[in-house]
Amino acid sequence: MIVVRTVGDLRDALRDRRAGRIGLVPTMGALHEGHTTLLRAARAADDTVVASIFINPAQFTEQADLAAYPRTEAADLALAEQEGVDIVFAPDAAEVYPAGFATTVSVTGPVAETLEGAERGRAHFDGVATVVTKLLLAALPDAAYFGAKDAQQVAVIRRLVADLGIPVALVVCPTSRDADGLARSSRNTRLSPGERTRALAIPRALQAVTDAAAAGISDPQALRARADAVLEASGIRPEYVAFVDPETFAPVGVVDRPVLVAIAARVGSTRLIDNTVVATAQGRADTQAGGG
Ligand code: AMP
């Protein structure tokens, strides 16, 4: 495994490897088993695996969040090596945003402006879109790997890749969870033991919605009430519990096809997000609604 810090060195390292498939796994470091899922998917499919580690200041809309973000490069490099990564691209901010940098890749519409885009502000997905575009152009991979945990990020990246015609296949890996159901996240290390227990209400709320939808409830408001009850029992007031189209993030009025249920909530001072796709319960929902 080699570690490169500049786009020039990354391109040099990749020059002789382009006959085979190149996979890119973009990360912000603080690697955990969620990231491992992506690295293993890339290792299984590609000849060369590139992992990038870059805490992208542009996508942080809270300075305190950026300051508190875990930085664990030595452990990250050890884990990357163990997972068979060939090249780690770990640039500094000046390499990604050199003096005079003045370009923003900005995806518009509900996909980037609702939910995380609304809560964290426009700059969040602008920062994500800009850095992912730069990483894709730096590595020019055949495939790039992202986690379903950040479903809206995936939708934003899908949009920009299609709109800009970037020749890369996007691979979305399922959300990796701890045994108790909590979605793995670099931010989980900030939870106190008590907060961590309360945070379990988030996957439980998603499960309650899944169960209710499977039982034929197709009204998002009725489904939301199930989620709210579970969250409230643990003292969690969500920023949002949303029922949206998984691609466009437009809100849906009835769950009659696969719908993304997304939750964001603060537990203590730690902001957590999670989501699931609820399967259509169309047959039963239609029957209950009298065929309408
Ligand atoms: P991050 O380092 O948090 O920016 O995440 C880098 C990539 O890992 C993103 O594509 C995330 O969606 C993905 N990821 C983070 N946590 C998980 C998880 N628990 N399961 C699956 N993918 C994840």
- Does the C-beta of 270 come closer than 6 Å to ligand 1? no
Ligand 1, residue 174: give the atom nearest the CA.
Answer: 21
When pLDDT is averaged across residues 19-29 and rounded to a whole number, the result is 98
> Does residue 284 fall inside a structural domain?
no
**CA 95 remoteness from chain centre:** 24
Say whether both 138 and 238 belong to one domain. Answer: no
Residue found by looking up tokens 């047959």 in the block: 283
Specify the residue with its C-alpha closest to ligand 1, atom 13. 147
Question: What predicted TM-score, i.e. pTM, was given to this entire model?
Answer: 0.95
**pLDDT beyond 50 at 290:** no
Position 173 scores a pLDDT of: 98
> Does residue 31 fall inside a structural domain?
yes
CA of 197 from ligand 1 middle (Å) equals 21
35 is a catalytic site residue: yes
- Does the C-beta of 35 come closer than 6 Å to ligand 1? yes
- Does the C-beta of 226 come closer than 6 Å to ligand 1? no
The pLDDT tens digits of the residues spanning 83-133 come to: 999 999 999 999 999 999 999 999 999 999 999 999 999 999 999 999 999
Say whether both 162 and 195 belong to one domain. Answer: no
Say whether both 125 and 201 belong to one domain. Answer: no
CA distances from 197 to 45, 203, 231, 234 (A): 36, 11, 12, 9
Domain count, the chain: 2
Say whether both 51 and 165 belong to one domain. Answer: yes
> Does residue 150 fall inside a structural domain?
yes
Say whether both 55 and 128 belong to one domain. Answer: yes
The pLDDT tens digits of the residues spanning 134-192 come to: 999 999 999 999 999 999 999 999 999 999 999 999 999 999 999 999 999 999 999 99
The pLDDT tens digits of the residues spanning 183-223 come to: 999 999 999 999 999 999 999 999 999 999 999 999 999 99
* Nearest-angstrom CA–CA distance, 234 and 130: 37
Domain that holds residue 167: 2-173
The pLDDT tens digits of the residues spanning 32-44 come to: 999 999 999 999 9
Of 118, 145, 173, the last residue of a domain is 173
- Does the C-beta of 186 come closer than 6 Å to ligand 1? yes
CA of 282 from ligand 1 middle (Å) equals 31
Q: Pick the catalytic residue: 13, 35, 156, 230?
A: 35
When pLDDT is averaged across residues 41-66 and rounded to a whole number, the result is 97
Say whether both 42 and 144 belong to one domain. Answer: yes
Say whether both 89 and 156 belong to one domain. Answer: yes
